[in-house]
Amino acid sequence: MKAKNILAGFALVGAIALTTAGCAGGGNTAGGGGGDDKVITVGFAQTGSESGWRSANTESMKEAFSEANGFNLIFNAADNKPEAQIAAVRSFINQGVDAIVLAPIVTDGWDDVLKEAKDANIPVILEDRTVSAPEDLYASWVGLDFKKEGETAGKWVADNFGKTPTNLVVLEGTTGSSAATDRAAGFDEAIKGTDIKVLDSQTGNFTRAEGKTVMEGFLQKYGSTINVLFAHNDDMGLGALDAIKAAGLKPGTDIKIVTIDAVKDGMTALADGEFNYIVECNPLLGDKVAEVVKKVVAGESVDKSYIVEDQAFDQEQAKAALPDRKY
């Protein structure tokens, strides 16, 4: 993917400020769509319903791709199964939709079906995570800077615990997803050269249930020698809370917890002192994705990427922000 157009805006609580820098142009134009009053039929291939973030993202997308906004939305949630998601995209192609929106579960394996969409002259717009396929196979991507999210989380751990021997465990997101890969890369860079030792790092697949199970294993193996937990999303951190308490330890005190997303349940745990720091990953992408789809279908050029900037919260900031949070 070309250098991302990092945009000057900043994420407001519950809202998204987006600006674009320059125009990569070159968006695909669909055969079927176009015309101001024509209803645009969009196939949306969502990952599934694995987390609170995903629910908020799905709600944002369904609100934006409403009939009132000129869309006919065909929605598919792939239950976090990459092969089911590829089948959903192929089904949209066979139905002859005007455009496809894809939130890819994993980064690899998309070249063939995206080539089929291009051959059928159906533009694909990515939202949320990214793909490794050549960028001429999709018109644009609306998402977040996962590496920066990981760096922000890692910098907080380094600043607060990096100068003394500290044992860390990591609950990784879905293996092969750009969110997990890039967050890990950013976090690891930020803690390099500090006194932080990674005892273990395993995937909890972005879910509460798996986050709890993996944390139970960490506690059986390392017990109270664990000082800090980094979870790639709030939901795995929330699952870990149960395991930590069952082990007779106090989350947020005996084991410090840093996560990413800032969904309501995560922010509540942070305000209650069970989490210590959260880096936001704004799920409210629907309006921007719908705007991009309309432009592409109308044959207008669009940027290759639109990045939503995130913010971060400590416990006091979470208490202040919670009343106004939209997700």
Binding residues vs ligand GZL (CB under 6 A): 50-51, 53-54, 128-129, 144, 179, 206, 233, 235, 260-261, 281
CB of 263 to ligand GZL, least distance (A): 7
Q: With respect to ligand GZL, which residue has the nearer C-beta, 89 or 122?
A: 89
Taking the complex as a whole, how short is the minimal distance between the CB of residue 326 and ligand GZL, in angstroms? 16
51 vs 166 by CB, closer to ligand GZL: 51
Nearer to ligand GZL, 100 or 236 (CB): 236
The distance of closest approach from Cβ of residue 266 to ligand GZL in the complex, given in angstroms and rounded to an integer, is: 9
Instruction: Report which residue's Cβ sits closest to ligand GZL.
Output: 53
Which residue's CB is nearer to ligand GZL, number 98 or number 127? 127
- What's the min distance (Å) between Cβ of 72 and ligand GZL? 26
Tell me the β-bridge partners of 126. Answer: 102, 141
Please state the closest distance from residue 301 (CB atom) to ligand GZL, in A.
26
Identify which of residues 41 and 178 has a Cβ nearer to ligand GZL in the complex: 178
CB of 253 to ligand GZL, least distance (A): 25
Smallest gap, in angstroms, from Cβ of residue 239 to ligand GZL? 12
* Cβ atoms 80, 205 nearer than 8 A: yes
Query: By C-beta, is 129 or 294 nearer to ligand GZL?
Result: 129
HEC assignment per residue over the chain: CCCCCCCCCCCECCECCCCCCCCCCCCCCCCCCCCCCCCEEEEEEECCCCCHHHHHHHHHHHHHCCCCCCEEEEEEECCCCHHHHHHHHHHHHHHCCCEEEECCCCCCCCHHHHHHHHHCCCCEEEEECCCCCCHHHCCEEEEECHHHHHHHHHHHHHHHHCCCCEEEEEEECCCCCHHHHHHHHHHHHHHCCCCEEEEEEEECCCCHHHHHHHHHHHHHHHHHHCCEEEECCHHHHHHHHHHHHHCCCCECCCEEEEEEECCHHHHHHHHCCCCCEEEECCCCCHHHHHHHHHHHHCCCCCCCEEEECCCEECHHHHHHHHHHCCC
Tell me whether residue 151 or residue 235 sits nearer to ligand GZL (CB atom).
Answer: 235
The structure tokens 């930590």 sit at: 244
Least Cβ distance, residue 104 to ligand GZL (angstroms) = 9
Nearer to ligand GZL, 71 or 206 (CB): 206
- Residues 65 and 315: their CA atoms lie apart, in Å, by 35
